[in-house]
Amino acid sequence: MDSMPGVDLVLLHAPSVYDFRKRPTMHGPISDVVPSTPVFEMYPLGFVSMVGYLEQNGYKARIVNLAVKMLKNPKFDVEQFIKRLDAKVFGFDLHWLPHAAGSLDLAEIVKKHHPDAPILLGGLSASYFHEEIIEYFPQIDYILRGDTTEKPLLDLMNHISAGKEPENVENLTWRTKDGRKRINPMTFVPTEMDDLWIDYGEVIKLVLRHRDLESTLPYESFMSYPFTAVLTCKGCAYNCITCGGSCYAFKNSFNRDGPAHKSAEKLVEEINV
């Protein structure tokens, strides 16, 4: 079977558990704040802003929601699909902790079929556990830490394209060619959000370019219950004791002193798109 059209980066979203279609499971109740099933097939909003940022800077990127494809087609062959993907870099989100098993298991499958391609991980949970992941999961080559990684991602792609080790890429945990662990400082923490454009037009372009609507769906029931979101701020001013995104958590884990907001003018512009 022929490979798919090549891209510089493909962002893959995994189900919470890779083999959920084979594993007998009784799922407990989950929050109805988002419309995901217990497979947690909704990918982070950051996928849209990262793809848009890379596309604006000359790179080709793609979103593939593997969890949705697995939910919609019980016979969907994940390994054959991954084998056919053609990308210089593969990325996974480990934003919400329920994806720990699925993201790392699928990253291992990607590394099996694309051993020479770097694998990138990002998200709040990946940021929190970055040292453990880079130490114990050899399929992961890079981890971008923090709540905002568009610019560090572009810098990393530039280094990879030039064949250089990313010694100066901000917010990056990585493994050198000789296997040593490196942790670059977390210095990219923007204090305002107007430069982070959530452009759903970029997602439409992906659908047309790859002739694949299903891969870009943010959750399984999107076609019957569609909605999108805009990003108003990052960080939090409160310290709810049960929340991993509290002011304390952002300060201690993501180096953010306080919320960063997007201007009302920019929000109106995004909504109008």
* Residue that finishes a domain, picked among 182, 210, 238: 210
Q: Are 171 and 151 in contact (CB under 8 A)?
A: no
- Could you list the residue range(s) of the whole structural domain that residue 252 is in? 229-272
The number of domains in the chain is: 2
> pLDDT tens across 222-272, in order?
999 898 888 899 999 999 988 888 999 999 999 999 999 999 999 999 888
In the block, residue with structure tokens 């998200």: 123
Same domain, 124 and 253: no
260 — phi, psi (to 5°)? -115, 125
Enter the DSSP assignment of 42: P
Same domain, 17 and 88: yes
Q: Which residues make Cβ contacts (< 8 Å) with residue 174, sequence separation at least 6?
A: 134, 141, 142, 143, 166, 181, 182, 184
Same domain, 200 and 262: no
Please report whether residue 219 resides in a domain: no
What pLDDT is attached to residue 195?
A: 86
Please report whether residue 70 resides in a domain: yes
Please report whether residue 128 resides in a domain: yes
Token output for 250: 């952002």
Mean pLDDT by 10 residues, the chain (273 residues): 76 95 76 80 94 96 97 95 97 94 98 98 96 97 97 98 96 93 97 89 92 95 90 93 90 94 92 81
Please report whether residue 220 resides in a domain: no
What pLDDT is attached to residue 31?
A: 66
Quote the pTM value: 0.94
Please report whether residue 192 resides in a domain: yes
Same domain, 155 and 254: no
> pLDDT tens across 197-233, in order?
888 989 999 999 999 999 999 999 999 989 888 889 9
